[in-house]
Structure 1
Amino acid sequence: MELGARTLWALYRKHPWLAASLTRPLFLPNLMVHGEWVLGALDGQGLDPTMLFDIHVLLYSHVQGLAVHLEMEAHAEAVTGQSEDQWMESRTPALQELVESGRFPTFTKVVGAFEDGYDLRLDALFEFGLKALLDGLTSLVEGQEVVT
């Protein structure tokens, strides 16, 4: 499952436009290969068909959910002519106003703790989420936990 997720992430990094809606998926042979591979890895674990497919969709959703931002950022940069860093820098006054309002104390504390601001690293978020997801699914797939 981990290899499948990493392969899909690499595909989206190369072709970000493929990250289509989960509710209106692209039925393309090369994407179906991924689905078949993950379902095959889960098959034979004693999971009922709904649980098996739910796990597949959950794993796919993690990868696809982050990958959507790859295409959105490329589009935003093309439209605005600004990099992500330039855009964020131009929004400093709005951020400062929110911080100074006193309405968001936890946000202010967390944001204030960053020496050079928060760097949104999609690859790192992919890794972090994948590990958490796979660790959480392990006991379920191995039959140690029942989800109702």
Structure 2
Amino acid sequence: MSDADDLPSQRIAAALRERIARGELEPGDRVPSTRQLVRDWGVAMATASRALATLRDEGLVTTRTGSGTVVRGVRGSGAAPLTRSRVLAVAVRIADREGLEALSMRRLAGVLKVAPMSLYRHIAGRDELEILMVRAIFGSNPLPRSMPTGWRQRLEVVYRLQWRLYRAHPWLAELTLVTRPPLAPEAMLHSEWTLEALAELDLDPPTRMRTALALPALVHGLALAALYEIRAEHETRLRNEQWWTTIEAEASELVRGAGFPRLRELGALATDAFGLDGLDEAFELALGHYLDGLAAAAG
């Protein structure tokens, strides 16, 4: 069996693994049956069976008579064995809930209830852990198997998927710098799709390369804004609209005194625009404007 033949089962296993890590599937919950996986993923029964077998080998699920395949508990004598996949699942869960700054090898070992040194049999250290976390997120949320027709449609698929990943895992923006990208094949495929789409346009090579950097930088910049807003809410214990309320009087006085008529026109709109929900709308607006401009520039 080739790696290519086994890839669909690995994708299914990764998606289920992430659902378990996020707590969507808890100990004792049934996981989708092989027949359900066949319907949901459009794969053969053997492929679905291999995906569940992978999770059983990792100790994440078990088969119970009359109940089917269920998520395995992690307490007592039935504790799941320590595997790289389990380490990554817990690392992602910690980062999702508390941010990347809360993640350390010692904290990870504590949550897994193992000695810190035992982690190094599976992960070389923090640097490898971060790369593997990036790979896990992109790998469990793959691009479509075939590219859409048309350069614009391809770019929309790539960057809307990236935005969804950033919103679901805000810490991801810290590990995917545009100028120093991680060597993660699953993420690098996004760049390959971008370059393939831009190859259809009448752009000289230097412009094509700058464009291939500018578009992900636009999305990444908004993702960092979302990350910093989440951190600010955590540190101040104030949601964005509450924070604006606390500075409203001071801000209004400053705007009037400094002679900023356009800023005065914003008024209450600033609260909606600068919050986390406003960033979703800003992303759609920015992506649309960028692609419109790219189409005009390419003639």
TM-score of the pair, normalised by structure 1: 0.81
Query: How many residues are paired up?
Result: 139
The structure whose RCO (Cα within 8 Å, separation 6+) is larger is: 1
Q: Which residue of structure 2 aligns with residue 15 of structure 1?
A: 169
Q: Which amino acid aligns with 1:19?
A: A
Cα distance in 2 between the residues matched to 1:78 and 1:45: 44
Q: Which residue of structure 2 aligns with residue 125 of structure 1?
A: 282
Q: Which residue of structure 1 aligns with residue 236 of structure 2?
A: 80
Task: Extract structure 1 runs of 4+ deviating beyond 6 A.
Answer: none
Secondary structure of the residue aligned to 1:25 is coil
Give identity over the alignment, percent.
Answer: 37
Cα distance in 2 between the residues matched to 1:45 and 1:102: 46
TM-score of the pair, normalised by structure 2: 0.43
Q: Which residue of structure 2 aligns with residue 5 of structure 1?
A: 159
Q: 8 Å contact 1:111–1:118 — kept in the other structure? A: no
Cα distance in 1 between the residues matched to 2:270 and 2:208: 40
Give per-residue Cα distances to partners, 1:66-110, cap 9 Å, x unaligned.
1111111111111111111111111112112113315222322x1
Cα distance in 2 between the residues matched to 1:101 and 1:47: 47
Q: 8 Å contact 2:240–2:271 — kept in the other structure? A: no
Cα distance in 1 between the residues matched to 2:284 and 2:296: 20
Q: Any unmatched runs of 5+ in structure 1?
A: none
Cα distance in 1 between the residues matched to 2:217 and 2:239: 26
Cα distance in 2 between the residues matched to 1:131 and 1:118: 23
Q: Which residue of structure 2 aligns with residue 140 of structure 1?
A: 297
- In the TM superposition, what is the alpha-carbon distance from 1:129 to its structure 2 partner? 0.9
Q: Which has the larger radius of gyration?
A: 2
Q: Any unmatched runs of 5+ in structure 2?
A: 1-154
Q: Which residue of structure 2 aligns with residue 42 of structure 1?
A: 198
- In the TM superposition, what is the alpha-carbon distance from 1:127 to its structure 2 partner? 0.8
Q: 8 Å contact 2:195–2:212 — kept in the other structure? A: yes
User: Does 2:245 correspond to 1:89?
Assistant: yes
Cα distance in 2 between the residues matched to 1:118 and 1:86: 9
